[in-house]
Structure 1
Amino acid sequence: MFNTKIPLYGLAIICALISNVIVVIILYKKYHFNRDEMIGALVYENIGIIFGAKLLTYLQDISHYGKFDIYTLGLSSFGGVIGAIICLILFGLQFKKSLKEMMFLFMPSIPLMYSIGKVGCFLVGCCYGIEYNGIGNVVYNYSFSAPVGVHLFPVQIIETVVFLCIFVYMFIKQKYCKFNWNTLGISFCMCGLGKFILDYFRNGHAVIIVSLNQIISLIFVIIGLFLIYKKENNIKE
Structure 2
Amino acid sequence: MFPFIRVTSSILIPTYYFVVSAAIILALFWITARAKKYNLSHKITLDLSLIIMVCGFIGARLLHVFYENFAYYQEDYSRVLYFWDGGFVFFGGALLAALFGVLFLEWKAPNDDERYLDLFAPVISLTYAIGRLGCLFAGCCYGKSCELPWAISGRHPTQIYASIWELGVVLILIGIESISSLHRRPALFRRPGSIFYLWMILHGLGRLLMESFREDFRGPSLGLSISSWISLAVIALGLVLMFRRKPA
Shift in CA distance, 78/133, structure 1 to aligned 2, threshold 3 Å: same
Distance 2:201 2:43 in 1: 32
Q: How does 1:21-170 map to 2 (within 5 A)?
A: 21-31=28-38, 33-61=40-68, 62-66=70-74, 67=77, 69-72=80-83, 74-97=87-110, 98-139=112-153, 151-170=154-173
1:214 equivalent among 209, 224, 228: 228
Percent identity between matched residues is 25
Q: Distance in 2 between matches of 1:3 and 1:56?
A: 23
Q: Assess if the C-alpha contact under 8 Å between 1:88 and 1:102 holds in 2.
A: no
Q: Is the CA contact 1:48–1:86 (under 8 Å) kept in the aligned structure 2? A: no
Q: TM (normalized to structure 2)? A: 0.80
Structure 1 segments (4+ residues) deviating >6 Å: none
2:233 is aligned with 1:225: no
**How much does 1:99 deviate?**
2.2
Contact 2:115 2:193 in 1 (8 A): no
Q: Residue 17 in 1 paired to residue 30 in 2?
A: no
Contact kept? 2:136, 2:160, Cα under 8 Å: yes
Counterpart pick for 1:186 among 198, 203, 206: 198
Q: TM-score, normalised by structure 1?
A: 0.84
- In structure 2, what is the equivalent of residue 200 of structure 1? 212
Which deviations, in whole Å up to 9, do the C-alpha atoms of 1:31-54 show, x marking residues without a partner?
453322222221112112111211
CA separation in 2, counterparts of 1:105 and 1:82?
A: 18
Q: Which amino acid aligns with 1:137?
A: A
In structure 2, what is the Cα distance between the partners aligned to 1:218 and 1:93? 26
| 8 Å CA contact retained: 1:12, 1:120 | yes
Query: Shift in Å at residue 156 of structure 1?
Result: 0.7
Question: C-alpha displacement at 1:184, in angstroms?
Answer: 2.8
Do the aligned residues in 1 keep the contact of 2:133 with 2:159 (CA within 8 Å)? Answer: yes
Q: 1: CA distance between counterparts of 2:133 and 2:94?
A: 18
Runs of 5+ in structure 1 lacking a partner? 140-150
Question: Does the 8 Å contact 1:115/1:161 carry over to 2?
Answer: yes
Can you list the C-alpha shifts for 1:62-100, whole angstroms capped at 9, x where unaligned?
Answer: 223323724425221112221221221132133244321
Q: Aligned letter for 1:76?
A: V
**Structure 2: runs of 5 or more not aligned:** 5-11, 183-188
The aligned counterpart of 2:7 is none
- Offset from partner CA, 1:112-159 (integer Å, 9 cap, x none): 1111111011111001111111120111xxxxxxxxxxx111111111
